[in-house]
Structure 1
Amino acid sequence: MEAPKRATKFAANEMWGRFYRKLFGVEKINQSLSILTGASAGATESFIVVPFELVKIRLQDKKSAHLYLGTMDCLKKVIKQEGVLALYNGLEATMMRHITWNAGYFGVIFQVKSRLPTKPELLNSFIAGTIGGCVGTALNTPFDVVKSRIQNSPRTTSPSKYNWSIPSLFIVAREEGFWALYKGFVPKVLRLGPGGGILLVVYTALMEFFGKYKLSYAPAETPSIEANTFEEID
């Protein structure tokens, strides 16, 4: 899941960035657009990850893990017992999770990088990405909690306790207390904080590499590459 998920995140962010710059008639991305493009990229990314997330949740939860022999067995049983559309159970909650994370992540990156010196670029990318990952995780953890509840509820004819993200937030907070919405926050932020920094460093390095490669082998073209998704370089 992670490889197509991360690729979609940055590809969609660049695509939406170009779309919104053209739509609003601005040459360079700004703080508001960085949040908007991040949120749009998160929504786009959700369609890729939902089936993977659902299988992962079913296999991780001790209440349902014993029902499946492995990944493919879980996939087959979900489709057979609940239908193909069951693979997209929790799509709305997943979208809320990714919209909030990406909006926070890219919005914070823009703000942090604007306050850091130009060099060293990779170190600045790691710092900005790590802070962005921590903020994004703080914003989206409640939606992650309810997403797991929704996806671990098999589709049946009887109404499920958890269906939509916002009502589910209130159910969890009312029955288990507000901090239940932040279950698993510490290990998650320890993973996605530095992970967000590494993600941005790798992306920056690869875009620089591919930019130089394109210049070397296609001199007739002048590539327009968005370094760190925010600044255009020649």
Structure 2
Amino acid sequence: MSEMSASQKETNKLLMSIRQGEKKPFDFLRSVYDGCIAGGAAGVVVETVLYPIDTIKTRLQAARGGGKIILKGLYSGLTGNLAGVLPASAIFVGVYEPTKLKLLDSLPENLSAVAHFAAGAIGGLASSLVRVPTEVVKQRMQTGQFSSASAAVRLIVAKEGFKGLYAGYGSFLLRDLPFDAIQFCIYEQLRLGYKLAAKRDLNDPENAMLGAFAGAVTGAVTTPLDVVKTRLMVQGSKNHYKGISDCVRTIIKEEGTQTLFKGMGPRVLWIGIGGSIFFGVLEKTKQILAQRHRPSSSPKVS
């Protein structure tokens, strides 16, 4: 009985330590700075490594009916896309980290999942101002509509106006806000549970493994939203679809419900591997930055 009591006390002490690690003293500027650096690094690495898989996924989703998928030029648009991915990823994590810390400090301990979910959605909303134009240009280059990012931007604005760069913005938010919120919530909650079970901090492979799982699950669940977003973004001035609901109805009517799950394999593979790389690089970069800050008496970043 005394042994069980001691074990329970040890578990409670560890749980309290983990939660206190999450609820660290709030340093807004440092949290934003570290988040921007770590997010930018993670985003660029993931995009560079996995861009060909993303291109195949986009072409699968954009092809209407039994359209042939071209496997050439799988890195088409990478350079221009990185110019958008770097600030978008930096903005996302730069907003996510301080928002998460503030919410964890404000909410009861049993609502940590709410803090992670809300922070993910808020970070996604902030970064969407950069991510959407980047995504529009990238996907139109991936489908062979333009040969360079600069030409894509110039011609899109000339033919469709500035709003053309935000084609499919509503569907992007419909896909990415739940995606960001769910992925980061799953990842953060898995980390908390793993820390509690292992009774120690996670190492790099473990962070990567949890990131892969969170990414794969979220990627599969949000595939239909991704198909709709892709169709709206690549249609250009043709206006085959008049909006999100019309796009869903038209796809189901003309191509069948199964079309909403087109590209799920490449998407799950891409986001699963991407989650592994992203969260692995993110946590490692945060750890390096924390070690640099430590001499100035800052606590270790969780």
Q: Same fold (TM over 0.5)?
A: yes
2:94 to 11, 29, 33: 11
Unaligned runs of 5+ in 1: 228-234
Range with bigger deviation, 96-105 or 111-120:
111-120
Give the aligned partner of residue 190 of structure 1. 269
> Structure 2 vs 1, CA of residues 192 and 98 (structure 1 numbering), >3 Å: closer, same or farther?
same
**TM-score of the pair, normalised by structure 1:** 0.81
Specify which structure has the higher proportion of helix: 2
2:242 and 2:111 map into 1 onto residues whose CA distance is 36
| Structure 2 CA distance for aligned equivalents of residues 21 and 155 of structure 1 | 45
Asked if structure 2 preserves the Cα contact closer than 8 Å seen for 1:20 and 1:33, the reply is yes
**Counterpart code for 1:32:** V
| 2:189 partner amino acid | Q
Deviation at 1:12, TM superposition (A): 2.1
Amino acid at match of 1:172: I
> Could you tell me which residue of structure 1 aligns to residue 207 of structure 2?
125
When the two structures are aligned, how many residues end up with a matched partner?
Answer: 215
Report deviation, 1:74: 1.5
| 2:254 maps to 1:175 | yes
* Identical pairs, percent: 24
Are the structure 2 counterparts of residues 183 and 207 from structure 1 closer, same or farther at C-alpha, using a change threshold of 3 Å?
Answer: same
Of 22, 34, 38 in structure 1, the residue corresponding to residue 116 of structure 2 is 34
Distance 2:169 2:213 in 1: 27
1:107 aligned to 164, 178, 185, which one?
185
TM (norm. structure 2) is 0.64
Deviations 1:118-158 (A, max 9, x none): 344222211110011011211222121111111122247xx
Q: What amino acid sits opposite 1:205 in the alignment?
A: K
2:152 aligned partner: 74
Residue of structure 2 in register with 1:87 after alignment: 165
Bigger Cα Rg: 2
Aligned match of 2:281 in 195, 202, 219?
Answer: 202
Whichever residue aligns with residue 144 of structure 1, its letter is D
- What is the distance in 2 between the residues matched to 1:28 and 1:4? 33
**CA shift digits 1:166-206 (9 cap, x unpaired):** 44233323332222111111112111102101111111111
Moved more, 84-93 or 8-17: 8-17
| Aligned positions of 1:39-58 closer than 5 A | 39-58=121-140
Query: What one-letter code is carried by the residue in structure 2 that aligns with 1:36?
Result: A
What's the CA shift string for 1:44-76, capped at 9, x where partnerless? 2221111111112222225xx2xx342211111
Unaligned runs of 5+ in 2: 1-83
CA displacement at 1:99 relative to structure 2: 1.0
Structure 2 vs 1, CA of residues 165 and 223 (structure 1 numbering), >3 Å: closer, same or farther? farther
What displacement does 1:34 show?
1.5
Deviation at 1:16, TM superposition (A): 2.5
**Residues 13, 38 of structure 1: 8 Å contact kept:** yes
Contact 1:100-1:139 within 8 A present in 2 as well = no
